[in-house]
Copies of this chain bind each other. A is one copy, B any other.
Amino acid sequence: MDFLFTDEQTEIRRQVRALCSRFPDEYWRARDESGEFATDFYRAIAAAGWLGITIPHEYGGSGLGITEAALVMQTVAESGGASQACSSIHLGIFGLEPLIKFGTAEAKQEYLPRILRGDLHVSFAVTEPDAGTDTTRIKCFATRTDGGYVINGQKAFITKARESKKMLILTRTTPREAVKKKTDGMSLFFADIDPAHVEVREIHKAGRKSVDTNMLFIADLYVPDADLIGEAGRGFYYLLDGINPERILVAAEAVGIGRRAIERAVEYAKERVVFDRPIGKNQGIQFPLADSTAKLETAELMVYKAAWLYDRGEHCGKEANIAKYMAAEAACEAADRAVQVHGGYGYATDYDVERYWREARIFRLAPISQEMILNYIGEHVLGLPRSY
Q: Which residues from chain A sit less than 8 Å from chain B, CB to CB?
A: 1-6, 33, 67, 127, 131-134, 156-157, 203-207, 213, 262, 266, 269-270, 272, 274-275, 277-278, 280-287, 289-291, 293-295, 297-299, 301-302, 304-305, 308-309, 318-319, 322, 325-326, 339-340, 343-344, 346-350, 354, 357-358, 361-362, 364-366, 369-371, 373-378, 381-388
Contacts and interface: CB of A to CB of B under 8 A. Distances in A.
A202 to B, nearest CB: 10
Contacts of A283: 282-284, 287, 371, 374-375, 378, 387-388
Given A132-B343, A291-B374, A297-B319, 16 more contacts: A2-B2, A127-B344, A133-B274, A133-B275, A206-B354, A207-B347, A282-B387, A283-B287, A283-B375, A283-B387, A284-B371, A286-B382, A286-B384, A294-B322, A294-B325, A347-B362
Contact of A274 (B134, B297, B366, B374): B134
Interface of A (DSSP majority class):
helix
A310 to B, nearest CB: 12
A358 B206 contact: yes
B348 A204 contact: yes
Nearest to A278: B385
Nearest to A342: B365
Contact of A358 (B132, B326, B348, B358): B358
A162 to B, nearest CB: 16
Contact of A286 (B319, B361, B387): B387
A67 B1 contact: yes
Nearest to A305: B3
Contacts of A349: 204-206
Task: Give the residue among A206, A293, A308 with the most B Cβ atoms within 10 A.
Answer: A206
A385 B281 contact: yes
Q: Say how many copies of this protein the assembly contains.
A: 4
Task: Give the residue among A67, A134, A204, A350 with the most B Cβ atoms within 10 A.
Answer: A204
A262 B373 CA distance: 17
B1 A308 contact: yes
The 7 closest A-B pairs by CB, nearest first: A290-B377, A283-B283, A206-B354, A301-B301, A286-B378, A283-B284, A280-B384
A344 B302 contact: no
A347 B206 contact: yes
Nearest to A367: B344
B384 A270 contact: yes
9 contacts: A1-B67, A131-B274, A206-B357, A207-B347, A280-B384, A289-B382, A290-B377, A290-B378, A340-B365
B348 A205 contact: yes
Contacts of A205: 347-349, 354
